[in-house]
Each structure stands twice: as C-alpha cells, then as structure tokens.
C-alpha cells in the first residue's frame, strides 16, 4: 500500500519539525471536512452564490470551423469570481480555516491571481491576510498588487532568491513556521507537503465533476481529449479529475515552453525530459534543477506557469502514462491568444492560452467527429499590462507614456 | 560517536558550543580561516552548511549567505573537499548541515560514503523528518555517521517520545517557532521544553535558534549540553570580519 500523501514515488511531507504539528492539524481538519456530509454542499452553495458555479461549457463554433478539426469546447473557469479557477481552492481552504479556528491567512502568488483570490476570500471571511510575492512579479503584475491591497491584504515583496514564485513559497513557509497558531498557509496549487496536493485537487475537482456532465449534455459524448495548462497543476487536476476513470479520454497537460526547450528559458519539467526527481518546498516531484540539486531559473510569458516544480500527483500520472505532457512556447501562446479573441470574443489568461495552443497544434490530426475540451482556467483582461506588453501594442504603450506624464505632473 | 565525544568533553566544561558556517561564504578560503579562528576560540563542534537554493528553515542572514555561495559557483564537490581539509587540520567533530535535496540528488549512499571519507561525524537535515528518512538513516548507520534529528516546542510529548527513538549522537532542539536568526525568549517555557526533551531521551541536547550572547549560554547551563550559535556569528562576520567572530565565541564562555 502507498504511504499516505504519496502518489507513486512522489509527494510526501519534507518539512521542518516545527511545522509537523500544524500539518497534522490541517490533515485532521481536512479529513473531518471530507467526512462531514454538509461540508461539500456548503462549499458548492458558496461557490454558486459568491462565484459563478457551475461555470459554463462553451462550444467554440467559429474556432472549430476555422481550424477544421475537432469540435472544441471551452470550460469557462475564467467566469469564476476573481477571474480564474484559483477561487475554487481558496474558498475551500477558507472554510477549513474556519473549522480550525484560525484568524489569519498567508499565501504565495506568482501572477497575482492566487493572491487576489486569497485576499478576496480573507475579506469575505474576515481573516487578516498577508501575501508573499517575488519582487520581480510585483514589478510585472502591479495591478494585482493594487487590488490585493485594496482588498485589505498586506503584500510583501520577496527580495531573496530569484525573486519569483518559488521564493514567495519559501517565504510563506517561513512565516507559517513562526505563526502557525493563528495562521493558515493557503497554498495555491497542488504542490507542497501532504495534505496540500490532495486538498487542493479535491477542491478543484469541482471543475471536472461539472464538465463531465456538461459535455454529455451538449455534445452527447465524452471528449477524445482534454487539454489544460500546467504550472503547479491545480487547474489540470481539477478538470482531469472528471475523466481519470474513463480510459477513452486522452488527457494532455501543456507546460510553459518559454523561448523554446533548447533555450533553457522555459518552465517545462515533464514534457522536456529536462526535469529530474528531487525534494524541495516540502515535497518530492520533478524539478528543474542542476546536478547538485540547486533549482534553476525558469521562464514563461505567463507568470503563473513560471515554476520549478509540478504537482506530485501529475508526476505520478506522467510516469504511469495516463497524462501526456506537451509544451507551448511564448510565441505559440500569443498566437493562440489572438485567435481566441478574434474568433470567439474571449480573452484568455496567458496561462490558459498554453492549453489552447497545445490543442490548436493538434487540431489538424483530429476529425470533425472528435470532441475536445480545453480548460480556459482564467481570463486575460485583468492582465492587460502583461498581455499588451506581450503583444507589443504601440497605441497602448503611448497611452501608458501619456498617463505617466500626467502622474508625474 | 558524537555522544561519547560530548560526554567526554563535558567532564572539562559544563556546556559545549557548536558553531555553524556556510561553506564558501564569503569565499572558500575565508571559510577555512573562519573555521581555524572558531576552533582556536575553543568551540567544540562545527556544522558545515552545504548551500542550497531553497533553504526553508533559514532566516534572512543564513539564507543570503547560501545564495551568495551558490552565486559564487560553490558546488557540492567543493564542500566535500572543504570538509576533508578541515577535518584533517582540526581535531574537533564536524557535521554537514544541508537540505534533503542535496543528499537525494547525489544519492544517499554515495553522500554518506563520501562524507565518511571526508571525516564527517554527523548530519543535520532540517527538512527531513524520520518518517521520510528510512534510507537516509540506513546510509548514515552504514557509514558510522550520526543523523541528528530535530525536536521542536510545537511537537506534542507523544511526538517527542516518538522522535526520541530515532536519535543518534545528540538531539538538536529548536528554541522557538520560526526560522534561524530571529530573537528568542530564554524563558521558563524553554526550560519546560528542554525538560520534556530530557524525559524523552538519554542523548545530549543541543539548543539552537537565537542563541546570541553570553547570557543566553549561561541560561542553558544545566539545561542543555550544547549551545548552537549560527546567525549571530554570521552577522558579526558580515559586519566586522573573521577575527571578530573568534572574539565573539571566546566571549560566550
């Protein structure tokens, strides 16, 4: 039998002893919640009245026709409150915080989506909130910092390490190891020490439960393939959870190919074969690291995918061959973003556009009878600075210059 | 083994000092001079930290030293060579302190075999609880190296009793919540925690996290066998240089 918290040879809880009791407490609270028949219905009710669950499944008719391949359906996680699947996890953990009687939450954030979701949850539930964010990410995601602060959170720029997502996780772990009596660490993805991978994918499984029924109703059949982008892996696990038991459905995770796998400027842990098994940030999985075990710098146009590790649950499915992993480059992602905006009137987050790019690339090899689902995990309009930057829009740049001059005056 | 060494040493003094350095910080040459200075100041044991890019149990001072050493291209191989050099030159026990990935990536058996070659007597791996450490403990035992486990004030008496079964050499007791290098309150609460540890194990206790003055060491006399000094020595190194670190350790006794 597998040890608790292990998925194949991945997972575990590699944490300083000081946190052992706290993780035990979390494990007990989470197990209790899962056994409580009212818990899931409370969660679902909250998600349907505070966020937009169930989120729709949209048939992308124009795109399907344009690409000439399969019928493409989009699972609209972008229509969640705060604009991404992140809220599914955060609200769930918010309820667990209440059960543990804690009053403060902390979180790491890369792109800022998980930070905004956590700050939102903290405001709604009345918790005090501190968000750790790499200094580099603070600089490139200022609008999200603005919203977190407006929502009442304290945003702490992390100035150590590479000053990105992984460093924000380290800093959150350090805060937690000092303040666990009052504080819960709302980890944003299905990574970290047990029970986080299990707990985060449990809350995200709401996506898969919905979409499994929706596709049967709308397309009359199960999909041939399901695509999701993979940073830490929570949105992928969420939607894939609806199909693991159906071996006819091929599951495809799309990682950040950055400037290409030969460039070393990417965050492709599984699809590249460049990742190797290691232990950091409390868990065992594939990491991008050197021969000594020092973590490498990663790159992606999408800050939310710019991460050294990947969910241990996904590493296990990777080794079993249940999920196929691919990578999409920054350039492919921008092209996919443009196409979806023009053809469907939907603005995807750059993270989610990786899943789209992966699907579009393979559309030609599928037939009109095939049905595929792409998890549109987040919306892009709130990342206007990032997307405008990535698209290099000249009119936007001159607007920013004018605006800056106004502020300077 | 380390326990015997500590017991023997305790016949001559009532508390021992364990120092900590980050190998390769500020440079590999300076690290050697630092070790020489610390040994000459009468320190009884030294932890050699192999730098790691994600040191989650370390506070800002040690974290930055880790990063600087890695940025300066210090490799794990360099740390083994360094260990060999200091264990040959100085007659006190040296331990490796690092994070589990460094051992995992090298292979635990290879790591411990090479550590033994290099004269290392113990290992401290703060992100490896015994539950995850079966192969680690086996590789350590096969090479006569003591895997030092950590006891924390947040752990229940049952948990402390459970951990006590895995102990070799001595136990590293963390003085408080949080990471290395922050202020610690040397209080009755700490005394109670150390008493709790004493009830659970016969092994010597080393107390670390926030030990920074003669008063702190004085407080620990009779309560713990070893006082561990890390961040404060590093702060002095950063501000005043190697010789000042020697004076600092001399002043702790």
Please give the residue of chain B at the shortest CA–CA distance from A193.
B127
Range of the domain at A350: 52-83+205-390
A142 lies in the same domain as A216: no
Looking up tokens 């443009």, which residue turns up? A338
Nearest to B100 among A14, A166, A177 (CB): A14
Q: Which residues of B are annotated as catalytic?
A: 47, 58
Query: Rounded distance, CA B210 to CA B230, Å?
Result: 8
Q: Is A21 on the interface with B (CB under 8 A)?
A: yes
A144 lies in the same domain as A253: no
Walk across the sheet containing A128-134 and list its strands.
A154-158, A128-134, A104-109, A183-185
Is A359 inside a domain boundary?
yes
Query: Rounded distance, CA A306 to CA B108, Å?
Result: 30
In this prediction, residue A58 carries a pLDDT of 98
The stretches of A155-308 forming alpha helices (DSSP H) are 165-179, 196-219, 234-240
Please give the residue of chain A at the shortest CA–CA distance from B159.
A21
A245 lies in the same domain as A337: yes
User: Of A192, A177, A184, which Cα lies nearest the Cα of A308?
Assistant: A192
The residues, any chain, with a CB within 8 Å of residue A271's CB and separated by 6 or more, are A253, A255, A257, A261, A325, A326, A327
In this prediction, residue A386 carries a pLDDT of 80
* Tally of structural domains, chain A: 2
In this prediction, residue A376 carries a pLDDT of 98
* Tally of structural domains, chain B: 1
- Domain ends where: A196, A215, A239? A196
Q: Which of residues 141-170 of A touch B (CB under 8 A)?
A: 160-161, 166, 170
CB contact under 8 A, B154 and A18: yes
In this prediction, residue A385 carries a pLDDT of 85
Q: What is the CATH number of the domain that holds B52?
A: 3.20.20.70
A160 lies in the same domain as A270: no
Is B247 inside a domain boundary?
no
A97 lies in the same domain as A76: no
Is B252 inside a domain boundary?
no
What b/e sequence results for A191-226 when a residue is b if at least 16 CB atoms lie within 10 Å of its CB, and e otherwise? bbbbbbbbbbbbbbbbbbebbbebbeebbeebbbbb
Nearest to A292 among B56, B57, B76 (CB): B76
Is A402 inside a domain boundary?
no
Q: What is the CATH number of the domain that holds A134?
A: 3.40.50.1100
Section B219-243 average pLDDT: 97
A214 lies in the same domain as A353: yes
Is B253 inside a domain boundary?
no
CB contact under 8 A, B56 and A278: no
- Asked if residue A84 lies in contact with residue A228, where contact means CB atoms within 8 angstroms, the answer is no
Is B60 inside a domain boundary?
yes
Residue A20: phi, psi to the nearest 5? -60, -45
CB contact under 8 A, A160 and B67: yes
- Domain ends where: A196, A227, A254? A196
Is A406 inside a domain boundary?
no
In this prediction, residue B185 carries a pLDDT of 87
Q: Which helix (H) or strand (E) holds B236?
A: helix B231-240
Is A3 inside a domain boundary?
no
Query: Rounded distance, CA B17 to CA A197, Å?
Result: 41
Range of the domain at B37: 2-242
Please give the residue of chain A at the shortest CA–CA distance from B68.
A161
Count of alpha carbons within 13 angstroms of residue A377, beta-carbon side: 37
Query: Rounded distance, CA B205 to CA B195, Å?
Result: 10
In this prediction, residue A2 carries a pLDDT of 65
Query: Rounded distance, CA A327 to CA B53, Å?
Result: 26
A157 lies in the same domain as A219: no
CB contact under 8 A, B179 and A174: yes
Count of alpha carbons within 13 angstroms of residue B248, beta-carbon side: 23
pLDDT band (50, 70, 90) for residue B70: very high
Q: Is A179 on the interface with B (CB under 8 A)?
A: yes
Q: Which of A77, A108, A344, A351 is catalytic?
A: A108
Is B45 inside a domain boundary?
yes
Q: Tens place of pLDDT for every residue, chain A, 409 residues?
A: 468 899 999 999 999 999 999 999 999 999 999 999 999 999 999 999 999 999 999 999 999 999 999 999 999 999 999 999 999 999 999 999 999 999 999 999 988 999 999 999 999 999 999 999 999 889 878 889 999 999 999 999 999 888 889 999 999 999 999 999 999 999 999 999 999 999 999 999 999 999 999 999 999 999 999 999 999 999 999 999 999 999 999 999 999 999 999 999 999 999 988 999 999 999 999 999 999 999 999 999 898 899 999 999 999 999 999 999 999 999 999 999 999 999 999 999 999 999 999 999 999 999 999 999 999 999 998 778 888 888 889 999 999 999 999 999 8
SS3 content of chain B, % helix, strand, coil (to 5): 50, 15, 35
A132 lies in the same domain as A168: yes
The answer on pLDDT for B129 being more than 90 is yes
Please give the residue of chain A at the shortest CA–CA distance from B128.
A14
Is B251 inside a domain boundary?
no
Q: Is there a cis peptide before residue A195, judged by omega within 30 degrees of 0?
A: yes
Is A228 inside a domain boundary?
yes
A255 lies in the same domain as A351: yes
A32 lies in the same domain as A172: yes
- Domain ends where: A167, A196, A225? A196
Is A23 inside a domain boundary?
yes
A127 lies in the same domain as A260: no
In this prediction, residue B180 carries a pLDDT of 82
Query: Rounded distance, CA A341 to CA A392, Å?
Result: 16
Least confident range from A174-188, B154-168, B174-188: namely: B174-188
Q: Which CA distances in Å does B37 have to A201, B21, B30, B68?
A: 52, 12, 10, 21
User: Of B15, B42, B67, B45, which Cα lies nearest the Cα of B169?
Assistant: B45
User: Of A91, A53, A85, which Cα lies nearest the Cα of A375?
Assistant: A85
CB contact under 8 A, B126 and A16: yes
Is A5 inside a domain boundary?
no
The answer on pLDDT for B21 being more than 60 is yes
Q: Which of B24, B50, B52, B53 to mutate to test the interface with A (most CBs of A within 10 A)?
A: B53
Q: Which of A51, A75, A77, A86 is catalytic?
A: A86
3-state secondary structure of B92: coil
Is A211 inside a domain boundary?
yes
CA distance B45 to chain A (A): 22
**DSSP-assigned states of every residue in A224-259:** SEEEEE-SSSHHHHHHHTTTTT-TTSEEEEEEEEET
A352 lies in the same domain as A241: yes
């Amino acid at each position: 039998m597998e040890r608790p918290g292990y998925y194949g040879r991945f997972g575990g809880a590699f944490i300083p002893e000081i946190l052992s009791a706290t993780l035990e407490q979390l494990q007990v609270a989470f197990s209790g919640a899962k056994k409580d028949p009212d818990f899931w219905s409370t969660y679902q009710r909250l998600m349907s009245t505070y966020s937009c669950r169930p989120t729709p499944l949209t048939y992308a008719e124009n795109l399907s026709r344009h690409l000439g391949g399969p019928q493409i359906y989009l699972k609209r996680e972008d229509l969640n409150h705060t604009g991404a699947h992140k809220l599914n996890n955060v609200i769930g953990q918010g309820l667990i915080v209440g059960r543990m009687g804690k009053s403060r939450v902390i979180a790491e954030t890369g792109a800022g989506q998980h930070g905004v979701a956590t700050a939102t949850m903290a405001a709604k539930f009345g918790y005090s909130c501190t968000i750790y964010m790499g200094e580099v990410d603070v600089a490139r995601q200022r609008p999200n910092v603005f919203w977190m602060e407006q929502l009442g959170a304290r945003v702490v720029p992390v100035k150590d390490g590479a000053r990105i997502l992984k460093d924000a996780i380290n800093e959150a772990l350090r805060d937690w190891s000092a303040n666990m009596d009052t504080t819960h660490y709302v980890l944003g993805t299905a990574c970290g020490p047990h029970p986080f991978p299990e707990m985060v994918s449990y809350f995200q499984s709401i996506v898969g439960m919905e979409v499994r029924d929706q596709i049967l109703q709308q397309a009359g059949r199960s999909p041939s393939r399901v695509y999701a982008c993979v940073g830490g892996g929570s949105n992928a696990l969420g939607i894939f959870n609806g199909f693991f038991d159906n071996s006819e459905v091929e599951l495809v995770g799309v990682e950040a190919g950055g400037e290409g796998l030969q460039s070393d400027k990417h965050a492709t842990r599984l699809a590249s074969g460049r990742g190797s098994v290691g232990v950091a940030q409390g868990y065992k999985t594939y990491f991008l690291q050197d021969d000594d075990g020092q973590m490498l710098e990663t790159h992606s146009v999408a800050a939310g995918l710019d991460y050294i590790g990947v969910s241990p649950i996904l590493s296990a499915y990777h080794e079993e061959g249940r999920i196929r992993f691919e990578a999409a480059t920054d350039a492919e992602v921008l092209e996919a973003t443009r196409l979806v905006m023009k053809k469907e009137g939907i603005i995807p987050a750059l993270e989610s556009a990786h899943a789209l790019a992966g699907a579009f690339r393979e559309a030609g090899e599928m037939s009109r009878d095939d049905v595929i689902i792409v998890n549109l995990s987040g919306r892009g309009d709130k990342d206007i600075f990032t997307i405008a930057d990535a698209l290099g829009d000249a009119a936007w740049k001159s607007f920013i210059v004018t605006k800056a001059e106004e502020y300077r005056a | 083994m380390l326990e015997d060494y500590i017991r023997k040493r305790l016949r001559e003094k009532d508390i021992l000092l364990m120092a900590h350095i980050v190998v390769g910080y500020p440079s590999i040459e300076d690290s050697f001079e630092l070790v020489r200075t610390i040994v000459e100041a009468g320190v009884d044991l030294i932890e050699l930290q192999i730098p790691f890019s994600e040191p989650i149990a370390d506070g800002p001072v040690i974290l930055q030293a880790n990063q600087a050493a890695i940025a300066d291209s210090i490799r794990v191989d360099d740390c083994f060579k360094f260990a060999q050099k200091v264990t040959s030159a100085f007659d006190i026990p040296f331990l490796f302190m690092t994070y589990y990935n460094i051992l995992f990536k090298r292979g635990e058996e290879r790591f411990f075999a090479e550590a033994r070659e290099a004269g290392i007597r113990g290992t401290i791996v703060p992100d490896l609880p015994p539950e995850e450490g079966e192969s680690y403990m086996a590789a350590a035992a096969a090479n006569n190296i003591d895997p030092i486990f950590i006891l924390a004030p947040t752990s229940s008496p049952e948990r402390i009793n459970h951990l006590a079964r895995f102990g070799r050499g001595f136990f590293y007791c963390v003085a408080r919540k949080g990471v290395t290098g922050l202020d610690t309150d040397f209080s009755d609460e700490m005394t109670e925690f150390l008493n709790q540890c004493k009830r659970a194990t016969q092994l010597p206790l080393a107390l670390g996290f926030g030990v920074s003055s003669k008063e702190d060491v004085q407080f620990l006399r009779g309560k713990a066998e070893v006082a561990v000094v890390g961040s404060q020595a590093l702060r002095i190194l950063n501000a005043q240089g190697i010789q000042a670190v020697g004076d600092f350790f001399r002043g702790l006794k």
